[in-house]
Each structure stands twice: as C-alpha cells, then as structure tokens.
Chains A and B, each alone.
Chain A
Amino acid sequence: MLKNTLYDKLWNSHQVRTTAEGASVLYIDRHLVHEVTSPQAFEGLRIAGRKPWRVDSVLAVPDHNVPTTDRSVGISDPVARVQVETLDNNCVEFGLTEFKMDDPRQGIVHVVGPEAGATLPGMTVVCGDSHTSTHGALGALAFGIGTSEVEHVLATQCLIQQKSKNMLVRIDGQLRAGVSAKDMALAVIGEIGTAGGTGYAIEFGGEAVRALSIEGRMTLCNMTIEAGARAGMVAVDEKTIEYVRGRTYAPKGEQWEQAKAAWADLHSDDGAEFDRVVTLDGATIEPQVTWGTSPEMVLPVDGHVPRPEDEVDSVKRGNIERALTYMGLEGGQAITDIQLDKVFIGSCTNSRIEDLRDAAAVINGRKVAETINQALVVPGSGLVKRQAEAEGLDKLFIDAGFEWREPGCSMCLAMNADRLESGEHCASTSNRNFEGRQGQGGRTHLVSPAMAAAAAIAGHFVDVTKDNQGGV
C-alpha cells in the first residue's frame, strides 16, 4: 500500500481537482483574516461584484494595529484606526464573524484560532500572514498567503497551488530543563538556514517534539516560515485531542466522536518517504540567542559573535559585516556581554499561557534590572490575559517592573506605538530580527520567554539553565 506523509494526506484530502497545467485546486476549510492584509482583498470583491463563497469559514480579528494600552479611548493613530474600522465594516458588509477589538476573545490571530477551536486537526487553514504555519501544530495544513490570495479564497474557497516537497525534522532525545520549543525552532533554523525549507512542507517529529505541549508545538510550527517553509506541522496525538476538546468551534457530541476517529489517521505512515530528513538531538540543544539580522544568525547563549575574517565566502562575510555594523556588535564578543535596553515578551510565537508561566517562573520574585528602559508583557489574547490574571501572573510581572498590556502583535512588528528606538537592544520572544522590524534602527535578539525574563533581570543575556535563583 502507498505510504503517505501527513502532508500528503492533508493535501490529498483537499485536492478538488488538478488543472490542465498540472496545478492543484486546493479546498480551504478555514480562512483567518486580520486588518492589514485584507482591505484590498475586500475592495477587489466589491469591484468585481463577488461575494464570499462560504462566510462560515471566515474568522476575523484585528491584531497588528491595535493599541496594547487602555482601549477605552480607541485608537489614537488615525491611519491605524481607519484600517481597523475598515475590517469591522467589511465584516458587517460581507456577513463575517469578527472578534472585535473590545471583545474579550480578541487577540493575535494565530493565538485566537486554535484557542477558539476555529483551527481543527485535518483542516486546511490560510491567513494573509506568514505565521499561519503556527496552526500546523494541530495536525492541520496551514500556510500564509498574500492579499491577492486572500481575495481568491474569499471568492472561491480554493487556491491554485503547486504541492511542496516533504521534509521531516526529527528532534530526538529530551530537552534539558530551561530549554524550550523556541530554542528548538531557532536551533533548527541555525541548522538548515532561513532558506533551508524553501519549497518544502516540514513535519516535526521525534521524542522531543512529542513531549511538547500543543502550545510548544505552535511555537515550533510558527517559526517554520523563518526556515523558509510555508507550512510546518505535527502529527495528531492524545495531546491534540485533549487540546481541542470542548473549545467553542470544536465539534460536539456525535460529531466529536466521528471527528476523533478521522483524526487518528493524521500522522505519517510508517515507512513514508520524505524528500529530506534533518535530525537533531534535543538533549544537546542549548538556549539560543540571535546576534544578527536574520534568524539564522543564531548561537547558543555561551557562544561568541562571529568574526567576519573567519568567513572565507565573500558574500557571507559581507552579510556578517553588515549585520555586525547594524547590531553595533564586535566580532568575537560574548553573547552574555550584550547589554540590553528593552525586553518584549509576546507575539504569535510566544504569548500563550505556557510562555507567560515560563517567564514568570524565572522571575521568581526578582526585579527587572535598572538599566532596562522598558519591559513589556503582551498576552496573545484576551483569554490568555484573563487566565494569567487568574493565576496571579500579572501581579508577578508588574511587581518585577514589567508593563502588563492588552493583547496584540505589539512590538513584534511595531505597527502600533510599541517599538524600539534607534540603537536599542531588545531581548524579544518574537520571530524576526530583521533590520528595523521592531522600530527603525532597533536591534532585536530572539530568545525564549525564559531567556527573555532572565535577561530582563540581569540586564544582559544569561544562561537560564544555570540561573539558580529562578524557578525553572
């Protein structure tokens, strides 16, 4: 019998037909929408006189532009306000479900989807956002699309797609205490590079992946795009089922039993062939810190920033030199000597309840260093915020000197008021350390929530696995 990978199965079950040119018409089950990449798509529908094919497949939520401070005063930035209002108006006009800014369920679209049960195992999930790969953690085929494709899915419920190749990233062994899914993701990117996954769909497997919670798997799948692959995924297991059970849009009663039975097949068959297999030993993964302006410029926390003169390839040497200049670092400098100005705990990578618990455990009653200008905690959704507050995490963060904010994308991409000033170094739990990403001239270092919390206390990076005063 033909052996299929998880990706093959998800692809095959959604292929409506193939076109004469050999492309596939792929059916989309869930379409998540936010305010930044959708207005032009809705405008396109209006101009062409088209209607959404299936309104019940759409869930919209504003997240990129929303303020994380007091929302009772609305959005002060007039351009951002127009964009959020445009989403609200489009959802009303086309009859789509939206969790609006003042809805307690509002949050980052990639936190909200799984949390609401809007993302289910076996689905195809798209969103006009590259971090849609997050949803693959539930055994779904999920990938980011551009605005033209947002319009395409709204109008047709389908996309014309070429199938990607299959890659398995297997992480064996057990992670050490203090090492998390974020470190796994960064270690994978360090291993295969930011273009290593281009043209592939990546399935994550192995003992260390199976041991992750669903939240951890979301962190891992979230950063698949930073390795160049549009989709990342993890096979369904008992943890997946337990995560989904009882959520708002999850099936109930007889349909729940039926769905569970169908989901049992959502794994790669024994002996299924992958075009590429990458293996890592989870036990040897150390806490990771990016030093440069691409997520592949990453090192273990005890490492030293590379010296350009050690690189023989002239293009790569140029990249290192440019990154060091932008980051204001010297070749050979110890990662732990990098002094920090800001700390950001949030983003679709690391703003779920487990991330906040990890950070809070490290803080363990200590205070943010005086040299830190600002330390932000931005929960991924209103429900995460509420849960954290029920556990008393907000007080712990506030007592330590962190600001406790309203949910949204915030300083991950700095579309709202939360941003770095030029030259500032930031320990950030987000996903991109590109030039200017967190504010023009800002210097981003990507780390896990535990590493960010430890760095906030020390004022510089420390190895959280050797941080004896933390609660890890």
Chain B
Amino acid sequence: MDAFTTLDGLVVPLDRANVDTDAIIPKQFLKSVKRSGFGPNLFDEWRYLDRGEPDQDSSGRPLNSDFVLNQPRYSGAEILIARDNFGCGSSREHAVWALLDYGIRVVIAPSFADIFYNNCFKNGVLPFVLAADEVDRIFKEIEANEGYRLQVDLAAQHVTLPSGETMRFEIDNFRKECLLQGLDEIGLSLQHADAVRNYETKRKQDAPWLFSS
C-alpha cells in the first residue's frame, strides 16, 4: 500500500448525502477478479448516459455533462468532498479501488459509513470527517473559486484552506501510523501470532465445539 503523508490537491464537490457504494461502482463491474481498472467506471451511472458493461472501453461513451466529475474545472481532482453518510451500503472494497484508480486520495464528508471508511485505510486513501458547517463552507468556496485546492497534512491532522485557515480532523493512532508508513497490516498482525496461538489453545479447552467442524 502507498503511504499517505500530505496532499495539495484540486477538490471536486459531490453535493449529495448517502452516496452509496452501488453508486460509486455499480454491480456489473464487481465481476472482475482484479483490484485495478475500476477508475473509468467510478460513478458509472451518474457519469455516462449509456449503460456501462465490464471490459468495455469507456473512452468513447456519451458523458453526462451535468455530473460534476465531467466538468472541466474539476479535471484531475484528487480530493472529493460530499455530504453525510458517504460510502453507505455494500461492503465492496471495489468502491475504494475505483476512487483510487480514478486518482482520488482524500474523501471529506460530515460522516462516513463504517465499512467504507475502514476500507479506505487499507488502500492508502484518507477519509476524514469535518463538521457539517465546515463542509458546507468548503462547498460554497469551491463554487465561488475555480481551481479550488486544499492542503491535507495527515501527521498534523489538519487541512489548510486557500485562505490559510486550518481545520482539524480526528483519526485514530493505529490507522494514522499505518497510512503514514504505508504498512502491511497483515504483516503487523502476524507479529501477534504467538498470542493468537495461545488464545486458540485456551479457547479449545473452553469451547471445543468452535474447533470441531
């Protein structure tokens, strides 16, 4: 996994609440057995006017010019900001793979669904929560200022606005360290292998039926 430390990036505003993972990457693309190549189908049903199919070249498909990702001013955005409960619904990690493959490294919202939030950290994508009024303010500033960028600093846990003001965000230490260093979490967990074996030994005595199938 790529480490995440700081990012100075263009921001794309997705002014919706309850953006679900079905919308982020529709079901037909989940048939892939790979982790890559989902970017062209990010928000497929909102982004294109036709129905997308797996393994199709999306470069010639008719675009929905009303959809924010298709507006030239947001081309190359690396930060996505949205409303409440972003990433709700299906646990599909393909949603994060699609965002990452498209080039999004930071997602900002007033709240996130738990599984999506968790999936981001496994892929070097930083999701963080700002208060609803802070998010609202950023939406308004983006609207008023083409080329609106934010500077995100994970170690300092803050985001700097073009005005120079900063907004602080919270993140738990374990996730922060893994992201800052791009750590392999499985490798980290295997450091606990002896403790796990000891747990299993004791558990086999207390609850043998859990090991008999």
Contacts and interface: CB of A to CB of B under 8 A. Distances in A.
B103 interface: no
A36 B113 CA distance: 20
Interface size class for chain A? Answer: 35 or more
Nearest to A152: B186
Given A21-B177, A146-B91, A432-B89, A415 B30 contact: yes
Given A27-B203, A415-B27, A440-B26, A149 B122 contact: yes
Nearest to B54: A79
A434 B20 contact: yes
Contact of A43 (B15, B33, B112, B123): B33
Interface size class for chain B? Answer: 35 or more
Contacts, number: 196
A192 interface: no
Candidate in A56, A146, A434 with the most chain B CB atoms within 10 angstroms: A146
Interface in B177-206: 177, 185-186, 188-190, 192-193, 195-196, 199-200, 203, 206
B78 interface: no
Contact of B115 (A83, A120, A145, A255): A145
Contact of A259 (B15, B18, B192, B207): B207
Interface string A293-326: 0101000000000000000000100110010000
B91 A79 contact: no
Interface string B1-42: 000000000000001111010110011101111110000000
Contact of B196 (A39, A122, A151, A156): A156
Nearest to A437: B22
Contacts of A40: 33-35, 93
10 cross-chain pairs, A with B, having the tightest CB-CB distances, nearest first: A251-B209, A148-B122, A39-B33, A146-B93, A21-B174, A146-B119, A195-B85, A130-B91, A144-B91, A147-B93
Interface of B: 15-18, 20, 22-23, 26-28, 30-35, 45, 51, 54-55, 83-85, 88-94, 96, 111-115, 118-119, 122-123, 172-174, 177, 185-186, 188-190, 192-193, 195-196, 199-200, 203, 206-213
Interface of A: 16-17, 19, 21-23, 25, 27, 29, 36-37, 39-40, 43, 48, 50, 53, 56, 64-65, 77, 79-80, 82-83, 86, 118, 120, 122-123, 128-130, 144-149, 151-152, 155-158, 160, 162, 194-195, 198-199, 225, 228-230, 249, 251, 255-256, 258-259, 262, 294, 296, 315, 318-319, 322, 413-415, 432, 434-437, 440
